[in-house]
Amino acid sequence: MVSPTSCGSKQSGPGRTAFVFAVGWQHGLVAHFDLCVIGTGSANTILNRRFAKHKVALVESGRFGGTCLNVGCIPTKMFVYPADLAETPGPAAGLGVDLELQGVRWEAIRDRIFGRIDPISEKGKVWREKSDNITLISEEAHFVGPRALDVGPAGTVTADRFVIGAGSRPVIPDLPGLGSVRYLTSDTVMRLDRLPASMIIVGGGYVAAEFAHVFHAYGTAVTVEADQTASR
């Protein structure tokens, strides 16, 4: 990772090739790369052996690994399985098997999930940091000119080629009164401290539907608000 306090040079170890980027990069100079990849979600998977001889900048402003790993497909599916288990007594009774749900331990479910996911993200980050040809820049990137990217305190990156894998992010709808209440998004709801007694889910897409199933199964009273404005 390049930070404002590091000097923009790669560490070298026994048997590893070191190369040094523009000295003083953090003081306004520009570092040039063969390839610059923005985002560590699916874009991170592009960087395989074919790019081993390329000088690559990998820029990530959030959690390493992107949406699917950290706040998307993977954790949601890990919440869905316990939700399906919690709802099993209903259909099981119709088959002549009487089960009883004794409780749902939200903290245990949440901690198991992120206890597995967070180390994967961290390992991926460390692996890239140790790479000889890739410089991981943990900053938000903004294009400031043709093939020129401002990466905050880390300086400016130019590159022959760019891959933009910046994904998407939750949009806060313009709903009257929303600003006066505490609300969560799909990025934050999975790390709640406690299971809420009730919840209004604004939206009618698959993400909303999935969270409605999960929280309902865990015992939260869920209302889904999915009119055309909300689900846009």
- Closest approach of ligand FAD to the CB of residue 98, in Å: 33
- Closest approach of ligand FAD to the CB of residue 57, in Å: 11
Chain Cα centroid distance, residue 178: 24
Which residues pair with residue 31 across a beta bridge?
Answer: 157
For ligand FAD, give the closer residue by CB, 26 or 138.
Answer: 138
Residue 59 binds to ligand FAD (criterion: CB under 6 A): yes
Tell me which of 1, 22, 46, 68 binds ligand FAD, using CB under 6 A. 68
Tell me which of 26, 67, 156, 220 binds ligand FAD, using CB under 6 A. 67
Which residue shows structure tokens 């990217």?
149
Residue 141 binds to ligand FAD (criterion: CB under 6 A): yes
Environment class of 223 (CB within 10 Å of its CB; exposed 0-12, middle 13-18, buried 19+): exposed
For ligand FAD, give the closer residue by CB, 167 or 204.
Answer: 167
Residue 61 binds to ligand FAD (criterion: CB under 6 A): yes
Span interacting with ligand FAD, options 8-16, 35-43, 48-56, 91-99, rule CB under 6 A: 35-43
# of chain residues touching ligand FAD (CB under 6 A): 24
Structure tokens at 209: 């539907």
